[in-house]
Amino acid sequence: MSHHSDDNMLIATSDSFWEPANYKRTTKRIEDGYKLCNDLMTLINERAEIEKNYGKSLKAWSKKWNDIIEKGPEYGTTEAAWKGILGEADRRYDVHTRIRDNLANDVITKIKLWQKESYHKSMMHIKERKDMEDSFKKAQKPWVKLLQKVDKAKSDYHTACKTEKSATNQERNATGDSSVSQDQVKKMADRVHKSKEEVQKNRDKYNQALQEINSYNPKYMEDMTVVFDKCQELEAERLQFIKDTLFHIHKHLNISQDPT
């Protein structure tokens, strides 16, 4: 929201938060937050499958070679050493299976629960987003009416100015034209006089509309800020939850901290 130098007019630029309906970029974060929970669960699910498949491959490899070694000619402590390699694979299978279980059962369960508690989704919309948009609409409604009044007054004023300029040019041209009668010149002069009155009348209405919207601006900004701050609180909670969840994922994936 800014003020134009001409006539102290308030103009909301196209990317301004204060312009009608531009609050939707703020409320869209609520919708995005819900979708990002789904994306994160998909990401974790895919990683859990990788852990599961890696563990299964190790287990299959261990079983295959255990059978081969037992049927083969190696014996004694050397045979035990061969099998020691397989034992490491079995333990690694346990580690990666545990990682898979932790990701699927612990992390994803927590994300699902948080998403369910934070977003109440219906077929049509997410309730939290709709509530915020309704609050923004309510805060914006009186100001939008004043803005529409300003736009109409501005348009009427500019139209009156064009009409007055056209009438003045016609009168000037007619005055220097001998083929135009004095009666016609007088009529043109009357039209110029009337158009000047229209300009002044519309200018007064325009200035009045500007004064009204400018005096309402502080109230408007205050009401919009109250709703915006609520949206910011929701987003701050989401960011903190995602941060904590990512740390939790890293903890499960860091096998160097696993005592086994």
Question: Residue 217 and residue 127: Cα distance in Å, rounded?
Answer: 29
Supply the pLDDT for residue 7: 38
Residue 102 phi, psi dihedral angles, 5° rounding: -65, -40
Question: Residue 159 and residue 9: Cα distance in Å, rounded?
Answer: 17
pLDDT tens digits, residue range 129-145?
999 999 999 999 999 99
For 2, the 3-state DSSP assignment is: strand
Supply the pLDDT for residue 11: 47
Average pLDDT, the chain: 90
Supply the pLDDT for residue 13: 53
Residues 6 or more apart in contact with residue 11 via CB below 8 angstroms: 1, 2, 3, 4
pLDDT tens digits, residue range 30-69?
999 999 999 999 999 999 999 999 999 999 999 999 999 9
Question: Residue 127 and residue 149: Cα distance in Å, rounded?
Answer: 33
Instruction: Please check the confidence at residue 1 and state whether its pLDDT lies above 60.
Output: no
Supply the pLDDT for residue 4: 40
Total residue count of the chain as it appears in this document: 260
Question: Residue 232 and residue 244: Cα distance in Å, rounded?
Answer: 18
pLDDT tens digits, residue range 203-236?
999 999 999 999 999 999 999 999 999 999 999 9
Domains and CATH numbers, the chain: 23-257 (1.20.1270.60)
Question: Residue 123 and residue 35: Cα distance in Å, rounded?
Answer: 14
Report the candidate in 42, 45, 40, 106 with the shortest Cα–Cα distance to residue 246. 40
Supply the pLDDT for residue 172: 81
Supply the pLDDT for residue 157: 96
Instruction: Please check the confidence at residue 2 and state whether its pLDDT lies above 70.
Output: no
Residue 231 phi, psi dihedral angles, 5° rounding: -65, -40
Exposed/middle/buried for 73, CB within 10 Å: 0-12, 13-18, 19+? exposed
User: Tokens 């903190």 — which residue?
Assistant: 240
Question: Residue 175 and residue 185: Cα distance in Å, rounded?
Answer: 6
